[in-house]
Amino acid sequence: MKIKMGLMFIFLITINSYSQEKKLPKGWDRVLLEGKTVYMNLVTGSISKRYPIKPAIKIKEEVVKEFDPTIVHVVKKGESLSSIAREYGFGLAKLYQLNSMTNFDEIEIGQEIVVGYAHNEEEKNAFLNGDKGALNHDDNHHKISKKKPNSSTAHKYHTVASGETLYRVASNYKLSVETLKKLNSLKEATIFIGQKLRIK
């Protein structure tokens, strides 16, 4: 009987030693919680009472890309602002209104010229796929609110520079386009050089 008890004791010690030496999967560590051994996921910080089988992995956060309403035309060799305006079926005045540019006489190959703003992804895709009338469903589409910014010192402002779009300004300040529009009471995404946009 004593021999059986002794063998049983040795067997239990061996099992216990083996389980302590067993290497945990990558990203896990043993910790004591209220006097009991538990397992911590070093990536997420979660605790498990069960011995982990799989390595700890970081849960991928779904990255939601913000919609950029800006539609641009990339200038090709031989093009002018007049030819670009004709291509999209509107006059030069509208092209001037859509773009924050200081010099309308000189455009360069590869330069991006804003030719419109879409309300949503479907509208933008339709326009890019050849439906030039996709943006012309609303006469007020390119009008902007010229409400003067609040003069409160608590607010911060950005002055629109040449070539900037609402989407680019929003991205620079880690804001969404919708947030920037709300801060400035803008109905549409069109902005102009020298315009002061509230960013805080």
pLDDT per residue as tens digits for the range 139-177: 444 443 344 444 445 678 888 887 788 888 888 888 888
117 CB neighbour count, 10 Å cutoff: 23
Contact between 197 and 170 (Cβ < 8 Å) = no
pTM beyond 0.85: no
Mean pLDDT over each residue of the chain, to the nearest integer: 76
pLDDT at 142: 40
pLDDT per residue as tens digits for the range 20-56: 557 888 888 888 888 888 888 888 888 888 888 888 8
The model's confidence at residue 138, banded by pLDDT at 50, 70 and 90, is very low
The model's confidence at residue 91, banded by pLDDT at 50, 70 and 90, is confident
